[in-house]
Amino acid sequence: MRDRVRRALQRPGTADLSHHRRAVAAAGEAEARCEALTDAELADTARRAATAAPGRRTDGRADFCAAARESVRRTCGVRLFDEQLYGVLGLLDGLVVQMATGEGKTLCGAVAAAGFALQGRSVHVLSVNDYLARRDRLWTAPLTDLWGVTGDWIEQSHSPDRRRTAYATSVVFGSATEIGFDVLRDRLVRDVADRVLPHADVAIVDEADSVLIDQARVPLVLAGSADGEAFDRALTDLAATLRPGTDVRTDAEQRNIELTDRGVDRVEAALGGIDLYTEEHAPTLAAVHVALHAEFLLARDVDYIVRDRAVELVDPTRGRVAMRQRWPDGIQAAVEAKEGLEASATGAVLDQTTVGGLVERYDRVAGMTGTAVAVAEELREFHALEVAVVAPHRPCVRDDLPDRVVDTASERRDAVVARIVDVHAGGRPVLVGTPDVAASEDLATALRARGVEVAVLNARNDGDEAAVVARAGEPGRVTVSTQMAGRGTDIRLGGVDGTGPAHERVVADGGLYVLGYGRHTSSRLDDQLRGRAGRQGDPGVSEFFVALDDDVITRFGDGAPVAADDPQAARVVDRAQRVAQADELQVHRTTWNYHHLLDQQRARLLEHREQVLTTALASDDLAGRYPEQHAALVAAHGTEAVTRAARLIRLHHLDRRWSEHLAVVAELREGIHLRGLARGMTALSPLDEFHRDAMAALTTLTEDVDRDTGDAFAALDPDGPIEPDAVVPRPSSTWTYLATDTPYGSDAERALSGLVRVVAGRKAATRPGWSPVRIVLGLAVVAMVVAIAFLLVFG
């Protein structure tokens, strides 16, 4: 009862670790004793401690911490601080542990993972990318080897057999997206032996806020090759002739684009005088919008890069190339046409999930990151995870300077170049964080023109990540990087080793100078960049240069004119970022609600699919419905062959109908928010209407599968082949889609929807006529809402 009351009253980020104080202190007292143990005795101590029964005095937390400290010293050459032991115990408690950059989170995660494995549990350590998964596994392998714990890692280049071998070990390191795509591929197997991913008990999430919050907004989508018409490249040429504002317009957040009346006239004339808004030319209208999206909403060196005559997508949350991913709905082919490249094959969505859906598969989830408190409420709401803060081993002495605000991006570049040249002249290392590839290369060019040598890290060369980041602390080094979050490599003052005269020189000069090239939409990302300076008590400085025409300000600011030298400029920037964060939270919350229903529907279907896959359910069902056909096929091919054919037919139509269901649901989501505008708000919210219609669509799915399966089975010729390839076709290839959810409409649509709800109520808009009293009351309510909002914003 005490714990429940404390949990109910505590603020996010205040989970208590003080009950581990006695265990950590006892581990220090046992340190000398553990040093005298042999490797075998040390491993046995860790195993017995990890499996000890829980209790105030009888559990093995102290012995486990002592054994872990000595084991890490022997295998990795470092001694775990007390703060790291608190981190390990917090992970074993199933918490998200916040530890500052450079405090050794990787070792904490490895020790906790090995501890769970010693208890006989299967553990996945979820990283943000393949590089970190491989690096962390290889670095911590001596520790798990000492304790007799098997481990491995997976990455995109691994074959199914290699993955199967890796997943059979106790501790597996892999990126959250790669493991998620393995889950999707396993859902579509037609033979149990083709699965690669067994059930895992525990997930330890590295960079938990990035994985569970940022990546959670991007669904993981598996696609397969399908026959389809090639994209008309003439539409790309036509889109390039249209002018923004005159022929096309976009919403405030650059999520949607549409033709103006003048644009419609120009396009219809160019296409031979057709009427785009007729049923006959609906496919052409859709293709035109795809071309407009590629031309005006997707920018080279921001959303994608062109390398080796191919379009490579840039992961918006990581600033890296999203390997083997494409855009859906013909957008990939439209971008390739825009860049004059050969078009990729078309495809159909086979299945999808989210990182949230992936994490729900595990019985126990824990995590670690440097910036968890800022999203503690979301971690609790979406994943039922609590955050615990571990104090740094040494106090942070970094100097965080006030933002430097300028009017335009060009002024900002000049000011940044001047500041870097000045700091560089003093011999201090400089790290610059930029929002995208284009900004990083533009700034690097400007610096080189001033005689400053620059190391650039972005999606074009992210394979050099470790070497570039590790050297960022050398004297006089200038590093320009996109998105430092999750880079995973410490920046040691003086260079890779962080010792010697070079280290002393940089410390004397004031440490690493971190420069932010504009604010991110999330303050967490700013804090992650700042955290690169001041590692483990080192000196350092951070400073952000913000332009008032940055996207964050123009999209999320209040629109009131303000000059850079105005004392209110800094408040305008802060307020815009807070609005951006609130917008992202609403996107996340809405996305979560929509995907949660889809995950529930998929779970129901997967139960049936598992029965079909592992039993003779399909054959028995068809034998009851088509006894004569079944008997003839068995007589011609044998029971085993017919059972397999029936299973494959059922699985094929089950997967095909699910793919079609996903398309129906996607189309439903695309327009669900407009229903309220069309009807003046119904009694149901858009989410409720989506749930109702999505469930209705699912109801007919099983009936359709039954019919399709029966028709296909009845059409089999007893004298013909019934081998797998002859029974059902399979996609010739699969790939992953990079999709971005837009769960509701533009700012204007949401504002209008809210106004209708406040003034008219949920049903009043459908009633004929407006009484004067209702109008006056409605305006009074609107005025009150505006007044309250003004007080909340301006205090």
What confidence tier does 559 reach under pLDDT thresholds 50, 70, 90? Answer: confident
CA distance 752 to 75: 62
Q: Which secondary structure element, helix H or strand E, spans residue 143, and what is its range? A: helix 130-146
Q: Is residue 5 predicted with pLDDT exceeding 80?
A: no
pLDDT tens per residue across span 364-380: 999 999 999 999 999 99
What confidence tier does 102 reach under pLDDT thresholds 50, 70, 90? Answer: confident
**Comparison of pLDDT for 84 and 132, the residue scoring more:** 84
Q: What DSSP designation does 300 have?
A: B
Q: What DSSP designation does 462 have?
A: G
The rounded mean pLDDT for the chain is: 84
For position 742, what pLDDT does the model report? 46
pLDDT tens per residue across span 301-312: 888 889 888 888
CA distance 594 to 538: 45
Q: Is residue 362 predicted with pLDDT exceeding 90?
A: yes
Q: What percent of the chain has pLDDT over 70?
A: 81
CA quadruple 745, 747, 751, 752: dihedral sign: negative
Q: Which of 527, 447, 538 has its CA nearest to residue 492?
A: 538
For position 790, what pLDDT does the model report? 56
- Determine whether the annotation assigns residue 490 to a binding site: yes
Residue 444 class from Cβ within 10 Å (0-12 exposed, 13-18 middle, 19+ buried)? buried
CATH superfamily of 2-223+355-389: P-loop containing nucleotide triphosphate hydrolases (3.40.50.300)
Largest pairwise CA distance in the chain: 90
Q: Which secondary structure element, helix H or strand E, spans residue 430, and what is its range? A: strand 430-434
Cβ count within 10 A of residue 633: 24
- Determine whether the annotation assigns residue 105 to a binding site: yes
**CA distance to 23, 264, 587, 681, per residue, from 757 (Å):** 56, 33, 20, 7
CATH superfamily of 589-738: Helical scaffold and wing domains of SecA (1.10.3060.10)
Q: Is residue 276 predicted with pLDDT exceeding 60?
A: yes
What confidence tier does 720 reach under pLDDT thresholds 50, 70, 90? Answer: confident
Q: Is residue 771 predicted with pLDDT exceeding 50?
A: no
CA distance 303 to 298: 6
Give me the mean pLDDT over the 779-785 stretch. Answer: 62
What confidence tier does 354 reach under pLDDT thresholds 50, 70, 90? Answer: confident
**Comparison of pLDDT for 284 and 790, the residue scoring more:** 284
pLDDT tens per residue across span 638-648: 999 999 999 99
Reduce the DSSP state of residue 207 to 3 states and report it.
coil
What confidence tier does 769 reach under pLDDT thresholds 50, 70, 90? Answer: very low
Lowest pLDDT segment from 252-266, 281-295, 382-396, 556-570? 252-266
Q: Which of 429, 633, 623, 521 has its CA nearest to residue 214?
A: 521
Q: Which of 222, 214, 218, 212 has its CA nearest to residue 356?
A: 212
For position 518, what pLDDT does the model report? 93
Q: Is residue 62 predicted with pLDDT exceeding 90?
A: yes
Q: Is residue 409 predicted with pLDDT exceeding 80?
A: yes
Most confident of 66-70, 258-262, 555-559, 567-571: 66-70
For position 776, what pLDDT does the model report? 53
**Comparison of pLDDT for 180 and 755, the residue scoring more:** 180
pLDDT tens per residue across span 530-547: 998 998 889 999 999 999
Q: Long-range contact list for 634-640, CB < 8 A, 24+ apart?
A: 635/718, 636/718, 636/719, 637/718, 637/722
Between 569-614 and 376-383, two packed helices, what is the crossing angle to 10 degrees? 20
What confidence tier does 588 reach under pLDDT thresholds 50, 70, 90? Answer: confident
Give me the mean pLDDT over the 753-762 stretch. Answer: 35
Give me the mean pLDDT over the 67-72 stretch. Answer: 97
Cβ count within 10 A of residue 256: 17
For position 759, what pLDDT does the model report? 34
For position 187, what pLDDT does the model report? 93
CATH fold group of domain 399-547: Rossmann fold (3.40.50)
For position 487, what pLDDT does the model report? 54
CA angle 668, 669, 673 (to 5 degrees): 105
- Determine whether the annotation assigns residue 103 to a binding site: yes
Its CATH class, for the domain covering 229-345, is alpha beta
CA distance 447 to 440: 11
Residue 265 CA, chain-centre distance (Å), reads 40
CA distance 517 to 462: 19
Domain ranges, ordered by start, for the chain: 2-223+355-389, 229-345, 399-547, 589-738, 747-794
For position 756, what pLDDT does the model report? 34
Give me the mean pLDDT over the 300-323 stretch. Answer: 77
For position 248, what pLDDT does the model report? 93
Q: What DSSP designation does 83 have?
A: H
The residues with which 368 forms a beta bridge, in sequence order, are 97, 206
